[in-house]
Amino acid sequence: MSIAAIRPGLPLATINPVAKIAATVPLSIVLVLTLDAVSAAVAIACELVLFTAVGLGRLLWSRRTLPVWIAAPLTGISMVLYGAPSGAVLWDFGVIHVTEGSVQIGIATTLRVIAIALPAVVIFLTIDPTDLADGLAQTLRLPARFVLGALAALRLVGSSIDDWRTLSLARRARGIADHGVIRRGLGQAFALLVLAIRRGSTLATAMESRGFGAPGARTWARVAHFGGREWVVIAVGCLVAAISAAAAVATGSWNVIWA
């Protein structure tokens, strides 16, 4: 399996990836500005409703988003245990001070991580890397050489996963897999790097022989559209950010970090 695999016909799959990524930016800005539970909770609610409405509900609760649900509470707990103490002390143990303030920060952090990471993961899963490259190069006018080089490199990630597996088996066959996990892991990582560089240079030769990097204008076989649908997606992203901010301000919980 490769992470450059073609995405199935998911909802939103045909929207220009640049628009989908842009749509997540306003909310991220709002959530970075304020550290409170209300704005993030409202944002999560909006996200769940929106993704379910467009037909991405199954993806939302699939194994692909599991890391988000695990990582977010862990981040929150570390804030509860080690965050700046304020308010009544609930529990004290060495360097750990659990206070009312740190519990609040912990909850706000957990929600914040979910509110930012969840749409990022779900939207990323609807993005075909080829479409993303087309969008970056044609819509944002990033240099084609850079974008296509990155796209080709992405295709090598799949081969590297296979390489890693084979390297592990080879180390067992060579009789050195019983001890020294860390040292062996480092050696194996280095071997993987060597293999990746060799594969990459072959691919570079193949690309060059097909005119990649030749001087002059390049054309694009696929069109990256940027039209009404893309603007709607961005507008929805702005709307979610605005609702979250407004809810926080209205309930009086809006607190800008540096204020």
Partner 1 sequence: MTTRDASSPGAASVVARGWGWRHGGRRLPAVQGLDLEIRPGERVLLLGASGSGKSTLLHGMAGVLGGDDEGEVLGELLVDGRPAAAARGRSGLVLQDPDAQVVMARLGDDVAFGLENLGVARQEIWPRVRAALDAVGLDLPLDHATAELSGGQRQRLALAGVLAMRPGLILLDEPTANLDPSGVREVRDAVVRVADETGATLVVIEHRVSTWLPSVDRIVVLGAGGGLLADGAPEPVLAARAAELRAAGVWLPDEVPWRAPARDVSAGRPLLTTEGLDVARVPGSPVLRGVDVTVDAGGILAVTGPNGAGKSTLALTLAGLLHPEGGRIEPSDELARGLRGEPWRWRSRDLLTRIGTVFQSPEHQFLTGSVRAELEVGPRALKLPADERARRVDELLAVLRLERLAEANPFTLSGGEKRRLSVASALATRPRMLVLDEPTFGQDATTWRELARLIVDLRDDGVGVVAVTHDDVFVDAIADRRLEVGAVALPSGGGAR
Binding site for partner 1 (CB under 8 A): 2, 4-6, 128-130, 148, 151-152, 155, 158-159, 163, 165-167, 169-178, 187, 191, 194-195, 198-199, 202-203, 205-214, 216-223
- To partner 1, the closest distance from the beta carbon of 136 in angstroms equals 15
Q: Decide the pairing of beta strands 96-99 and 89-93.
A: antiparallel
Between 69 and 190, whose beta carbon lies closer to partner 1?
A: 190
Q: For residues 127 and 186, what is the distance between their CA atoms, to the nearest angstrom?
A: 33
- To partner 1, the closest distance from the beta carbon of 121 in angstroms equals 20
- To partner 1, the closest distance from the beta carbon of 212 in angstroms equals 5
Between 59 and 191, whose beta carbon lies closer to partner 1?
A: 191
| DSSP result, 16-57 | -HHHHHHHHHHHHHHHHHB--HHHHHHHHHHHHHHHHHTT-H
Q: For residues 169 and 143, what is the distance between their CA atoms, to the nearest angstrom?
A: 40
- To partner 1, the closest distance from the beta carbon of 46 in angstroms equals 32
- To partner 1, the closest distance from the beta carbon of 165 in angstroms equals 7
Q: For residues 205 and 203, what is the distance between their CA atoms, to the nearest angstrom?
A: 5
Question: Contact, 9 vs 227, CB < 8 A?
Answer: no
Between 160 and 255, whose beta carbon lies closer to partner 1?
A: 160
Between 22 and 167, whose beta carbon lies closer to partner 1?
A: 167
Between 59 and 195, whose beta carbon lies closer to partner 1?
A: 195
Residues forming beta bridges with residue 89, ordered by sequence position: 99
